[in-house]
A and B are shown apart, each in its own frame.
Chain A
């Protein structure tokens, strides 16, 4: 008897609950057809899969990018080192070919680079400013290139990797006619063969 009461009570509570659920469900079903629902379910699944895949892809790409970035960074650093090696000139005083302290520092960096790049041979170009005789300047440029070569050899770079050429005053980097330009033009620079 007590059991029946419980059952009734449960039914009393559960059936309206079912009814409520059913009514709600009915509402949804009436607003959308069964076919579309099936498609919906399918595409949602597919989208999920795709998203997952793309996320995986992205992660992969990110990894590759990171790798690339790292490589690029390394290349950039290498290039920067190379550019510095190629672009950083060794400066001289007027009518002089002795290596000033700053020029020696530059040459030490160049020796480091040459040491790390043992397959590279270079041409050392000697240059002068436009003042004075171009004939004398040809010899002065020759001495400047030879000074740089000797210094690099003393730092352990094989002489067979270093050739010299003098351009005298024929190839200025700055064609102005003032001390700033002349200072830039009194130089030795290294060109990779």
Chain B
């Protein structure tokens, strides 16, 4: 649907290439094709723009003026404003950038050239911009061409240049792809833009599973069980989702293929809850209590028990896998109180991770494998904490703002989604991995809880 072309330093694309591209793209609108590679944009990734040890300490000031349009067509003008606005919002969502106010711009960028040749970078450095993104937009029927360039204003250097072609309705996809390029260039990771978030909402009158894009855009109700539905869990490829539902009266485990609407139900006596897919495998861990005691089991994607993973009287729930699938964090009350433990699958050893506080639950293993986010209770308040897997460096990320629960890392480990009742009903929020930039993810009727961030599952 979207085709992409790298733009050389000067940024001119030959007419021949352009027209060839047009017919090509229209012919294969449904195929995403990266057509040309004029300069390899990633090889020279420079991480000094963003301190990867704490990228949110200092936000990079960036200027994103409205895109220039090829014609004076009002539809084109409107699309230029909305699309450049979308680019600003999408990049701002990462928490890395400080968006500079359009009112501060020293001249009308629409009237200037978008290429480095005629850009007076001092106009941008004077207002504090360290980065600048310029765009050129043209509409042909329902097809849009967008050229986007990222500049280092102090070095007067083009960092990334891309030309995209796609349906006007796919402009979010185009913007997402450019944002992936930008964050990859600046941080070495391609960000969160191709991920989704599954969550529970009571908007329909029952707890049902919804899925939205990484930034809360386009929430869609995915289950219509008309009963209590809980704990969505993504498979690594994003094709399967497992959850618990009382659809048939008992809390059963449903394993569903999202696209093909097929799947299985694990409906044993007792509870069948808290699924967690093993990274990269068609298998998952879940808590079943058919034996009379809730234990965590390893199951195939078709619901067959492979083996028992915990064996201790009392509660064992909420597994979360290390990214390599070799270890599993989980919650147990084997000490008499809810605490988080880590099990090494190969050695079968179990170690207690949390010692501070009397109630620590909802472990979620970070994508880099080094940290675990969880929900802990202190003085009757529930807050989000992050701790190293060796038990060091305990950090509290939320303070004095109601109850904050169910943390879930973004696929690049830069953000954490959670639910909080700080504004009354429980809603979804996002913050950086350091607890900064806490904001509401979306506005929906009812209460929203249990956010689960997928990996980057959308095709580029």
**Interface positions of A (Cβ within 8 A of B):** 95, 131-136, 138-140, 142-143, 146, 164-167, 170
Residue of A131, A136, A166 most packed against chain B (CB within 10 A): A136
Closest residue on chain A to residue B406 by CB atoms: A133
Closest residue on chain B to residue A141 by CB atoms: B271
Q: Is B382 on the interface with A (CB-CB < 8 A)?
A: yes
* A135 and B317 in contact, given A95-B337, A165-B250, A166-B251 (Cβ under 8 angstroms): yes
Select A142's contact among B270, B331, B382, B405, beta carbons within 8 Å. B270
Chain B: residues with Cβ within 8 Å of the partner, total of 39
Given A134-B450, A139-B273, A143-B315, 4 more contacts at CB 8 Å? A95-B337, A135-B362, A136-B338, A167-B228
Interface flags, B406-450, vs A, CB<8A=1, else 0: 100000000000000000000000000000000000000000011
CB of B375 to closest CB in A, whole Å: 6
Q: Is B183 on the interface with A (CB-CB < 8 A)?
A: no
Interface residues of B in 226-254 (CB under 8 A from A): 228, 230-231, 244, 246, 249-251
A138 to B244: give the CA distance in the assembly, Å: 11
A103 to B251: give the CA distance in the assembly, Å: 25
Q: Is B287 on the interface with A (CB-CB < 8 A)?
A: yes
Find out whether the CB atom of B315 lies under 8 angstroms from the CB atom of A140. yes
Find out whether the CB atom of A136 lies under 8 angstroms from the CB atom of B270. no
Interface flags, B206-220, vs A, CB<8A=1, else 0: 010000000000000
Find out whether the CB atom of A133 lies under 8 angstroms from the CB atom of B361. yes
Closest residue on chain A to residue B273 by CB atoms: A138
Find out whether the CB atom of B292 lies under 8 angstroms from the CB atom of A135. no
Contacts A/B (CB < 8 Å), 21 sampled: A95-B358, A132-B338, A133-B361, A133-B362, A133-B375, A133-B406, A134-B449, A135-B230, A135-B362, A136-B317, A136-B362, A138-B274, A139-B294, A139-B317, A140-B315, A142-B271, A164-B270, A166-B251, A167-B228, A170-B207, A170-B228
CB-CB under 8 A from A139, the residues of chain B are 271, 273, 287, 289, 294, 315-317
Q: Is B184 on the interface with A (CB-CB < 8 A)?
A: no
CB-CB under 8 A from B318, the residues of chain A are 133, 135-136
* A135 and B228 in contact, given A95-B338, A142-B294 (Cβ under 8 angstroms): no
CB of A65 to closest CB in B, whole Å: 44
CB-CB under 8 A from B314, the residues of chain A are 143
CB-CB under 8 A from A135, the residues of chain B are 230-231, 273-274, 317-318, 331, 361-362
Find out whether the CB atom of A142 lies under 8 angstroms from the CB atom of B361. no
Find out whether the CB atom of B405 lies under 8 angstroms from the CB atom of A133. yes
CB-CB under 8 A from A166, the residues of chain B are 251, 270-271
